[in-house]
Amino acid sequence: MGVETIRKPADTRVAVKPAFDLALRMGDNALILAQRNAAWCGHAPALEEDIALANVALDLIGQAKLWLGYAGELEGEGRSADDLAFLRDGREFRNVLLVETPNGDFGQTTMRQWLYDSWHHFMLEGLKASSDERIVEIAEKSAKEVAYHLERSTDLVIRLGDGTDESHKRMQDALDYLWPFARELDVADDADRAIAAAGIGPDLASVAEKALAYRSEALSQATLTAPTDAVPRKGGKAGVHSEAFGFMLAEMQVLQRTHPGVKW
Amino acid sequence: MYAQKVESTGARPKSLDEMDPQERAFQERIDANIKIEPKEWMPEGYRKTLIRQISQHAHSEIVGQLPEGNWITRAPTLDRKAILLAKVQDEAGHGLYLYCAAETLGVTRDQLTEQLLSGKAKYSSIFNYPTLTWADIGAIGWLVDGAAIMNQVPLQRCSYGPYSRAMIRVCKEESFHQRQGYDIMMVLSKGSEEQRAMAQDALNRWWWPSLMMFGPSDAESVHSAQSMAWGIKQDSNDDLRQKFVDQTVPQAEYLGLKVPDDDIVWNEAKNDGKGGYDFGEVNWDEFFDVLAGNGPCNAERLGARVKAWEDGAWFRDGLMAHADKQAARKIAA
């Protein structure tokens, strides 16, 4: 990726490489989660849920455009948000594995959304204090949307966890499966540490602490139990994705790859 | 849109003299353009016809999510993806408020859903055709939503208040849908050779099914006459189809595309001397075949709806159970 050679920032307060990494990670998370959620459109268990999940996906597409657009600017090689979304190979994506996990049943999709929302919300709170003004702007806009995402997914997790025996079991199974993936969000790598050191983003440990406290409260209401000894399942931040991810990208990028260089 | 073959009482409309006083008063209100509201008296035939028409319309919106939903994950840019997703989401919203309008007539959404899933209720034939390329998304917006608007604009004046009000809202969104479809066609028809071919191919495949959307000729239908007398239907199927052809042929020319009908000729004498296009005969055998369940995607469309409903049963049950628990806790507290 072009930013390995760091451009001289126009504004010296902005650290380009960490800002680029942050924007790319946030953008890829939003894009890939939106892509997964959008596949439910027309197939959700109730009309109201169909509409609500489409809303979440729409917000995330909008956020992906902002983050990836900014990442492209920082990179300075003329790549647009669309170029980054549709013309990168899997190894170049920096989203966490959680957001690319297959949809499974609607419970798994809901749990995935909730685990992400409950991190996303506190991450954006942290990003509102970024030293980069553009990141502050995007975070403020996104935070308003994500407050709703979190309210919705928390409500569903509680109701389904404390619903029937079957809905409880499905939600517990989803939690057991997805919790290790959610931990990738908490484990800082070199780029995360550089982001925090440059004042571009918050320390991930502090975000994780708030997310965990929030989740514990909701899970107790949902009568669900988080695994205590889960080893993080990670790799996405370093571009090492799941096998399922390649199929998803092939589908998402098919038109841009088949007809290169045309307008749509 | 999307109610192509709504059966009403099957009898010719009664004259005012043949009606009893209650029915005459009802008919006079309709003739005076006064809206009928849910709690008011209405003939049983009026109620049943409306339920059929509104629910067919609602079902069409819901099934109509599927052909376009097929391309959401493959939309070529982030903007196109967002626009398409928003559009398909609108269709779910239309379904939702149309079901609500139908519920004011004394049926439940679950009953109507059951009728759809069992194959008892109909939905528009158009959604049983496959979306094979990205240009189909453009063609559907342009032609299918264009035909829908043609049909729905008059329905804003429908005699039944809740349906009329639902249609006012639906029409606002449909015109955005049509514009986005035409915009896709514009970009494709000005694009690469492959893109132009894609656009022409989509027009070839969607043209005739779009004309079928208006339903069979009124000459064959006794139902239309009664529905018109009741103010449920405002224009004849043939008039609307003519209007659609007259509007769409110049749009196709503007795109540099050819409408797949060699019989299209401008005819000065049409539309009371204002002129209009002559066009070829719709293949009604195909229409009735698709309506009978033998279209290219009938099984897949209904199958997808049945699967969504059955797979989601645990989810709906879970939410209901939680609501019951909450209510019990409230009483206990």
pLDDT by residue (tens digit) across A25-48? Answer: 999 999 999 999 999 999 999 999
Indicate the burial class of B66 (C-beta count within 10 angstroms; 0-12, 13-18, 19 or more).
buried
Q: For testing the chain B interface, which of A31, A41, A158 should be mutated: the one with the most B CBs within 10 Å? A: A41
Cα distances (Å, whole numbers) of residue B26 to B32, B40, B324: 10, 9, 42
- Which of A59, A79, A57, A54 lies closest to A69 in space, CA to CA? A79
CA distance A212 to A153: 15
CA B189 to chain centroid: 27
The residues, any chain, with a CB within 8 Å of residue A102's CB and separated by 6 or more, are A36, A108, A244
Tell me which of 3.65.10.10, 1.10.1740.10, 1.20.59.20, 1.20.1260.10 is the CATH number of domain A5-258. 1.20.1260.10
pLDDT tier at B220, thresholds 50, 70, 90? low
CA distance B316 to A160: 9
Amino acid at B251: Q
**B63 neighbors B122 (Cβ within 8 angstroms):** no
CATH 3.40.50.300 fits B16-306, yes or no: no
* Lookup: tokens for A5: 């050679």
Write down the domain spans for chain A: 5-258
Residue whose tokens read 């690469």 = B192
pLDDT by residue (tens digit) across B63-73? Answer: 999 999 999 99
- Which of A94, A242, A84, A248 lies closest to A178 in space, CA to CA? A242
Q: Is the pLDDT of residue A219 over 90?
A: yes
Indicate the burial class of B99 (C-beta count within 10 angstroms; 0-12, 13-18, 19 or more).
buried
- Which of B106, B105, B108, B111 lies closest to B161 in space, CA to CA? B105
Nearest C-alpha in A relative to B81: A61
On chain B, the residues whose CB falls within 8 A of the CB of A47 are 62, 92, 95-96, 99
Contact B78 A170 (CB under 8 A): no
Residues 103-142 of A with CB under 8 A from B: 105-107
Nearest C-alpha in B relative to A155: B319
**B131 neighbors B71 (Cβ within 8 angstroms):** yes
**B88 neighbors B152 (Cβ within 8 angstroms):** no
Amino acid at B126: I
Residues 197-256 of A with CB under 8 A from B: 251-252, 254-256
Cβ of B87: how many Cβ atoms within 10 Å?
A: 23
pLDDT by residue (tens digit) across B222-256? Answer: 677 888 899 998 889 999 999 999 999 999 999 99
Check residue B284 and give left, alpha or beta (phi > 0: left; psi -120 to 50: alpha): alpha
CA A55 to chain centroid: 16
Q: Is the pLDDT of residue A10 over 70?
A: no
On chain B, the residues whose CB falls within 8 A of the CB of A105 are 311
Which neighbouring-strand residues pair with B267? B276
Q: What's the whole-model pTM score?
A: 0.95
Contact A106 B311 (CB under 8 A): yes
- Which of B136, B159, B218 lies closest to B30 in space, CA to CA? B159
Give the model's pLDDT for residue A8. 47
Which neighbouring-strand residues pair with A158? none
Average pLDDT value for residue range B285-308: 96
Contact A41 B86 (CB under 8 A): no
The residues, any chain, with a CB within 8 Å of residue B291's CB and separated by 6 or more, are B4, B5, B122, B125
pLDDT tier at A133, thresholds 50, 70, 90? very high
CA distance B114 to B119: 9
Amino acid at A193: R
CA distance B135 to B255: 13
On chain A, the residues whose CB falls within 8 A of the CB of B66 are 42
pLDDT by residue (tens digit) across A154-197? Answer: 999 999 999 999 999 999 999 999 999 999 999 999 999 999 99
Write down the domain spans for chain B: 16-306
The residues, any chain, with a CB within 8 Å of residue B262's CB and separated by 6 or more, are B280
